[in-house]
Amino acid sequence: MFFYYFDRYYWILIVPAMLFAMWAQARVSSTYKKYSRVISARGMSAAQVCRQILDNNGLYHIRIEHIAGSLTDHYDPKSDVIRLSDSVYNSASVASIGVAAHEAGHAVQHATGYVPIKIRNAIVPVTQIGSSLSMPILLIGLLFNSGVLVEIGILLFATMALFQLVTLPVEFNASARALRTLDEYHILENEENKMAGKVLGAAALTYVAALLSSLAQLLRLILLFGNRSRND
């Protein structure tokens, strides 16, 4: 059984994916830190910018809340609230404004019926099932030498990779909307907008890393199962 955890595919697939994910996380942290020192010329706080974008799109009902943490910002469509973290909410830096505009972009996506986000929301229940049951079913299949259960486990795990894949256009589009809006509303100057773009670009790499990690793990499971079938 331990063969499935200490195998060459782990080193070939999983370790590089983990290293890329670590690099992506370090990059977004360093990029945000760098541009969090640059205060926008207009001096608006990230929360004020977020409110303006929402109001300009007729989303008056969406609240903005202050939450603890650093870069824990997110949009909650069920509660109609955008939550901005300690490092973002009151900051007037180009980095914080970019993050807040990105979250407002998600709210606009929901309001306009952006197709990829509708697809992502639709597969969330399946993804949650896959996340909780894939590995237990896979391990039971290996324990009882059941190829059917192993295949079911792998298919369930694949739903997580699918979710990460659908997430990419959602995140890229939210960032594109944010930068376009910041430029059209003259919230940031041209050079400031480029700086905010670097922050959002670095953040996008973390979603690419998440997809690559899921795909690497999925491929590893498929290769392990294939080897096991041939050995049998």
Cα 20 from Cα 206, distance rounded (Å): 9
Q: Which two tokens stand for residue 227?
A: 């080897």
Q: Which helix (H) or strand (E) holds 143?
A: helix 115-143
| Residues contacting 138, CB < 8 A, separation 6+ | 149, 150, 153, 154, 157, 221
Q: Is 103 noted as a catalytic residue in this protein?
A: yes
The C-alpha atoms of residue 188 and residue 140 are separated, in whole angstroms, by 55
Task: Quote the CA–CA distance of 54 and 200 in Å, as a whole number.
Answer: 19
What is the 3 state secondary structure string of 57-94? CCCCCCEEEECCCCCCCEEECCCCEEEECCCCCCCCEH
Phi/psi of residue 53, nearest 5 degrees: -65, -45
Cα 232 from chain centroid?
39
Tokens of 83: 């939550």
Locate 177 and state its tokens: 């909307």
- Catalytic residue (one of 103, 151, 189, 192): 103
Cα 222 vs. chain centroid, distance in angstroms?
A: 25
Active site residues: 103
